[in-house]
Chain A
Amino acid sequence: MDTTTQPITDTKATLALNPLESEAVYIFREVVAQFDRPVLLFSGGKDSITLVRLAQKAFFPAKIPFPLLHIDTGHNFPETIAFRDKLVKELGLELIVRNVQDAIDEGRVTEETGKYASRNMLQTTTLLDALEEFKFDAAIGGARRDEEKARAKERIFSVRDDFGQWDEKNQRPELFNFLNGNIDHGQNVRVFPISNWTELDVWSYIASEKIEIPSIYFAHQRKTFLRDGMLWSAQDDVVFRAEDEEVVERTVRFRTVGDMSCTAAVLSTADTIEKVVGEIRTSTISERGARIDDKRSEAAMEKRKQQGYF
């Protein structure tokens, strides 16, 4: 579906967009106008896939005027990587991949060990290195304010210092439509075009736009084991599993797709986008409830963000 080369075809009466879509498109255009080297952080998850569609819309009929950057933990779901490569090819986008494994091999970060080992935290070093390497001055991400309490205070344009740090006490007020992206050389800005979307908004948009997403978001058979009330993938040998943790094949899907080592599956039979939307609508568990990295302490996300995590 290489929509970028499709001609402008149908004519309709009055343009009346979903206000969240209109806002996201506005934000994308501000990024391109205000920064020299923007980049879109692409994880292969539904939020970053939604960002790609919004960026297409913002600049149509021109192509998306910035590359995608994927920080690969090496523990991605294979389905996500396959999807990523297909999308990039279809849309003719530039993709940059930087690997957490490289930082581990160079001894710059130390891999966690044990039952809850995850490479999620290690992404920060690789991300900051990549921003530095390519001199990116704006990094666009799919974080949403509804995900987590510390994110509820994040700005749409969030300035980071030379060390990639977030100073939550000293954020710029964002008034009306104004997005102030003025920065010094060496600083960069994190940009969150779907800040104001909820998980349900994203799923509804994916459904109404018929956006393709990786197959692991839909119900499938998977070898899993149960720990702390959550289901973990026992395929691919990435997640640490103790001998007494029994592997059972279950019908599951992933509601959020991060590093395999910290993303749990949920029991589900939702095998179409409509069923997924229905499931989210009635769900009583929060999306990040399936992310073990947020459960480490009450202030887990805020601490990671101060250090430069997305």
Chain B
Amino acid sequence: MDVLKIATAGSVDDGKSTLIGRLLYDTKSLTTDKLEAIEKKSKANGFDYLDFSLATDGLVAEREQGITIDVAHIYFSTAKKSYIIADTPGHVEYTRNMVTGASTSQASIILVDARKGVVEQTYRHFFINDLLRVEDIVVAVNKMDLVDYNEEAFNKIVSDFGALTQKQQFKAQRITFVPISALKGDNVVNASTEMPWYDGETLLEHLEQLNPSQVEEVGARFPVQTVIRPKQDQYHDFRGYAGKVSGGTLAVGDAVTVLPSGRSSVIKDILFYNSSFTKVDAGNSCTITLEDDVNVSRGDILVKSAQAPSLTKELQATVCWMDNNALVPGTKYLVQQGTAQILGKVKSINSIVHTDFSGVDATDKLVLNDIGKVTIQLSKQVLNDQFLDNKQTGSFILIDTQSHATAGVGFIGS
């Protein structure tokens, strides 16, 4: 069964939780006991309609404040697909959460209030989806019921969005607009009877036909997680390299290079459980054996020799900062690329990037939720894979050496 991971972003009051609740309700994914709990709570809160947002707002503290403050995962399925929604709050102070949600998603829903149109928050949501190179964007123009299902209001938002797409980096992104009312159920799962001027798909119909991972990466990468050595007579000399393929295909007989050492060999076998395979596509976990007894351990990355990237000890990258302690030049962090953790140091912070596409400014530090351009010096060589070419090895995380927290995420590229 296909699995589609979706990130959602919207400003407070754009009706994001209501939309998710509506998706669950109309796909009959809400179970009787959950639905009863929602009915009970809606009544207790004095609402005269079902408050679907109650289906998603998880933690006690959030319920008290009435807002979503972290990344929550919501699941539903149709006959065709399983959906995983990463629900994140859209306010600027939650950039960290939006980036996190978008990093694991293949598609993204950006909510726009039909009455307000494209606002600063929309710019920010779009910026993050562009930076994270999310393949499919659905702009859900919500609350159409409050603008009398007016076609002009919808068209204005579509044309205002054109100004944004001109500025984007990730040109392969596909963008679709759907006019909806989450509260009334128009064009979410079921087609609306209120908007005869719209003959496109409903939101769910659109998601159903999405086929992600069509964007070609610049080459297969295989970060080695661990070495499997059974220590049984039957497999006496067995050395299998366990990992998950990203960005391409590997096949038996392929000439491969182990990075960063640069040693080469040939793929002897591709194994998973008690079967062997002639090739493996991106996204699959497997175990690879090599023809030669070369030294390979956790942190190494196997690449096709013909597609080997250059190595570097200095990275130019865009970083999203996620820690309460500010990022300042000179501080040491563990830099994780693939499965390798390497000690690194921020050499310079070159600029802070405004997420409303208004440009960059000079800065000497990045604080929580800031996005900026930095130069990082490393104690060992890493792959100089650009994020726009290679999502997996073109990204890295920065780990605080004292608290061990994941303090930031980086995207290689200047």
User: B-contacting residues of A (Cβ < 8 Å)?
Assistant: 3, 5-23, 25-26, 29-30, 32-33, 56-63, 145-146, 149-150, 152-153, 168-169, 171-178, 180, 182-184, 195-196, 198, 200-201, 204, 283-286, 289, 298-299, 302-303
Contact = CB atoms under 8 A, between A and B. Distances in A.
A302 B229 contact: no
Which 4 residue pairs are nearest across A and B when measured between Cβ atoms?
A182-B404, A149-B58, A62-B230, A286-B31
B100 A14 contact: no
Contacts of B229: 62
A15 B73 contact: no
B226 A32 contact: yes
Contact of A289 (B31, B56, B72): B31
B281 A25 contact: no
A21 B405 CA distance: 27
Nearest to B3: A19
Contact of A58 (B60, B75, B285): B285
Most A-side CB within 10 Å, residue of B234, B279, B287: B287
Nearest to A13: B278
Most A-side CB within 10 Å, residue of B1, B73, B298: B73
Nearest to A9: B274
A7 B234 contact: yes
Contacts of B104: 174-176
B82 interface: yes
B225 A14 contact: no
Nearest to B231: A62
A30 B404 contact: no
A7 to B, nearest CB: 7
B275 A11 contact: yes
Contacts of A174: 100, 104, 406
Contacts of A298: 37, 60, 63
Interface string B1-25: 1010000000000000000000000
B315 interface: no
28 contacts: A3-B274, A8-B275, A9-B275, A10-B274, A13-B278, A15-B270, A16-B284, A19-B3, A29-B242, A33-B225, A60-B273, A61-B235, A61-B240, A62-B229, A63-B230, A145-B73, A149-B56, A152-B56, A152-B74, A168-B59, A169-B61, A173-B409, A174-B104, A175-B103, A176-B103, A177-B392, A178-B406, A184-B404
A299 B225 CA distance: 38
Nearest to B228: A62
A105 B392 CA distance: 52
Contact of A172 (B103, B339, B406): B406
Interface residues of B, number: 77
Contact of A10 (B75, B275, B341): B275
Contacts of B1: 18, 204
A160 to B, nearest CB: 13
Given A153-B71, A184-B404, A289-B33, A8 B225 contact: no
A171 B63 CA distance: 18
B106 to A, nearest CB: 10
Contact of B228 (A59, A153, A284): A59
Contacts of A19: 3, 283
B232 interface: yes
B238 interface: yes
B7 to A, nearest CB: 12
B284 A17 contact: yes
B357 interface: no
Contact of B281 (A16, A20, A172, A196): A16
A6 B31 CA distance: 42
Contacts of B97: 173
A22 B285 contact: yes
B31 A146 contact: no
A30 B277 contact: no
Contacts of B404: 180, 182-184
B237 to A, nearest CB: 12
Given A16-B281, A62-B230, 14 more contacts: A7-B274, A8-B274, A11-B275, A11-B277, A13-B277, A29-B242, A29-B243, A61-B274, A172-B406, A175-B395, A176-B104, A176-B392, A178-B336, A299-B60
Contacts of A177: 244, 246, 392
Nearest to A57: B273
B406 A145 contact: no
Nearest to A174: B100
A58 to B, nearest CB: 7
Interface in B238-283: 238, 240, 242-244, 246, 270-281, 283
A173 B77 CA distance: 26
B399 interface: yes
A153 B84 contact: no
B203 interface: no
Given A7-B234, A168-B59, A285-B31, A14 B280 contact: yes
Contacts of A63: 230
A57 B228 CA distance: 12
A7 B395 CA distance: 38
B308 interface: no
A151 to B, nearest CB: 8
Contacts of A302: 58-60
A135 B401 CA distance: 23
B382 interface: no
Interface string B61-103: 1010000001111110100001010000000000011011001
Interface string B392-407: 1001010100001110
A14 B277 contact: yes
A204 to B, nearest CB: 8
B285 A29 contact: yes
Interface in B273-314: 273-281, 283-287, 298
Most A-side CB within 10 Å, residue of B97, B225, B405: B225
B230 A172 contact: no
A205 to B, nearest CB: 10
Contacts of A149: 56-59, 72
